[in-house]
Amino acid sequence: MKRPFTTNLFLRTCAARAMTLSLVAMLLTLGSASAQESEKRDINEIVKLKFEARFDYIHDMIGTDQRKDMSGFNVRYINMLLDGNIGDKFSYSWRQRLNKMYSAKSFVDNMDWLYLAYRPTQNWEIAAGKQVVMIGGWEYDRAPIDLYFCSEYWNNVACYQFGASVAFMPNKGNDKLTLQVCQSPYDNAYENLFAFNLHWMGSHGCYTALHSLNFSEYHRGKYAAYITLGNRFRFGDATIQLDLMNRGASAKELLFDNFSIMGEFSYLIADRVNVFARATYDKVGDNYPVGLFVYPNTNMTRVGGGVEYYPLGGRGNRDIRLHAAYAYSFGENGRMLDGSATARDRQSYLTVGLTWRIDVMSAVESIIDKAHAKRAAKLQ
């Protein structure tokens, strides 16, 4: 990473004040558990083991020239997911990527998360370990295995870091406020950098929010600030997601000089076919520090869409999925200077593939139940 320029004193003062306000807000807010985590836990379910995999054929072109090194058949993801409960107050979760492991170091690097959570009451939860950095937005929140093309920010953010968090969840079950301190996404081998994140998830009727305020050190005492507003609307089988992320390493840059917009519309047909249209836009001015996730002099747009087919969808089952998606990108990308750009001008991207998931514990239980039933039938 190239050395970024010095941030002014204003941002440091804002960071300190924001953290103080965050602590106060966490104690005073009247939110509750998120829609994703408000389900009642079975305290006797000690182990839940799942595997998932996705295989793609990719055709990547710049103009009329095929990028042969980026095209062809690809094992995009092979993941193991293990979670469960230890008694009625402790729970754990672990997601490991299995298709990119070559050493003990790469094993840890490809560990998305591994943390232990303690819930002393229904209203509070404390967690520590390797966690997802609490940044808002629906593109950021969705599992990578469920996305086909994304913004330049998403493609470069280092979103899994070691840290600890405290969450407050009042009784109605519609909101969750989380305060997290963790390694900075910009952490490097030469400095031990930190990030401070305040995240709110709230579900109210057809609207669900994923909002955050983030301060991440990119150099000792120098912060990149994010204000992220993730918005999702659901109307029957139609879903609209719209994310607005404003970034800055100084107060001036927070005035819409460096930002990303990500939007998607999807519609589920007959519980088996999902069609979607998607667009992303990344904009960074020429004064933003080099070396952060989106480089200066970036003005990049991606548009496209696709279709997903669930063969088992008639039973509400999403364990098998076929997909086809296409995206076209155009504009300038500052990362072209070092060759690390993921979206390029006049780039066409086509992916066709298969995803499958298996709940190992449920499968074992089903086999055992069938064996017992078969044995009982023989004894009658």
**CATH number, residue 38:** 2.40.160.10
Which has the higher per-residue pLDDT, 9 or 67? 67
Q: How many domains does the chain have?
A: 1
The span from the CA of 148 to the CA of 324, in Å, is 9
Q: What pLDDT is stored for residue 42 in this prediction?
A: 60
Q: Is 3 within a domain?
A: no
Q: What pLDDT is stored for residue 2 in this prediction?
A: 36
pLDDT exceeds 70 at position 121 = yes
| pTM of the shown model | 0.84
The span from the CA of 148 to the CA of 54, in Å, is 11
Q: Is 4 within a domain?
A: no
Q: Is 309 within a domain?
A: yes
Q: Is 2 within a domain?
A: no
- Lowest-confidence segment of 90-104, 229-243, 309-323 by average pLDDT: 90-104
Q: Do 294 and 284 form a contact (C-beta atoms < 8 A)?
A: yes
Q: Is 63 within a domain?
A: yes
pLDDT exceeds 90 at position 267 = yes
Return the sign of the alpha-carbon dihedral for residues 26, 31, 35, 40: positive
Q: List beta partners, residue 355.
A: 54, 321
Q: What pLDDT is stored for residue 341 in this prediction?
A: 92
The CA-atom distances, in angstroms, between 344 and each of 31, 59, 83, 285, 298 are 42, 14, 39, 17, 10
The span from the CA of 163 to the CA of 181, in Å, is 6
- Lowest-confidence segment of 39-53, 73-87, 265-279, 357-371 by average pLDDT: 39-53
Q: What pLDDT is stored for residue 38 in this prediction?
A: 38
Full DSSP string of 174-229: SEEEEEEEEE-TT--SS---EEEEEEEEEEETTEEEEEEEEEEEEETTEEEEEEEE
Q: Do 273 and 307 form a contact (C-beta atoms < 8 A)?
A: yes
The span from the CA of 162 to the CA of 191, in Å, is 15
Q: What pLDDT is stored for residue 36 in this prediction?
A: 38
Q: What pLDDT is stored for residue 83 in this prediction?
A: 95
Q: Is 182 within a domain?
A: yes
Q: Is 128 exposed, middle or buried (0-12, 13-18, 19+ CB in 10 A)?
A: middle
Query: In sequence order, which residues have a C-beta less than 8 Å from that of residue 196 and are 6 or more positions away?
Result: 15, 18, 19, 22, 180, 181, 214, 215, 216
Q: Where are the beta strands (DSSP E) in 205-346?
A: 207-219, 222-235, 238-248, 258-269, 273-284, 298-309, 320-332
Q: What pLDDT is stored for residue 189 in this prediction?
A: 77
In terms of Cα–Cα distance, which of 57, 54, 67 is closest to 348?
67
Q: Do 219 and 172 form a contact (C-beta atoms < 8 A)?
A: no
Which of left, alpha, beta for 188 (phi over 0: left; psi -120 to 50: alpha)?
Answer: beta
pLDDT exceeds 50 at position 376 = yes
Polymer length in residues for the chain: 380
Q: What pLDDT is stored for residue 41 in this prediction?
A: 53
Q: Which tens digit of pLDDT belongs to each residue from 227-238?
A: 999 999 999 999
Give the structural domain span for 370. Answer: 9-379
Residue-averaged pLDDT of the chain: 87
Q: Is 1 within a domain?
A: no
Query: Percent of the chain beyond pLDDT 90?
Result: 70
CA angle 95, 98, 102 (to 5 degrees): 125
Model confidence band, residue 308 (pLDDT cutoffs 50, 70, 90)? very high
pLDDT exceeds 60 at position 150 = yes
Q: What pLDDT is stored for residue 35 in this prediction?
A: 36
Question: How many Å separate Cα 193 from the centre of its chain?
Answer: 21
Model confidence band, residue 105 (pLDDT cutoffs 50, 70, 90)? confident
In terms of Cα–Cα distance, which of 266, 292, 295, 296 is closest to 279?
266
Q: Is 266 within a domain?
A: yes
Q: What pLDDT is stored for residue 155 in this prediction?
A: 96
Q: Any idea which residue has 């969705």 for tokens?
A: 142
Q: Which tens digit of pLDDT belongs to each residue from 341-350?
A: 999 999 999 9
Q: Which tens digit of pLDDT belongs to each residue from 192-215?
A: 999 999 999 999 999 999 999 999
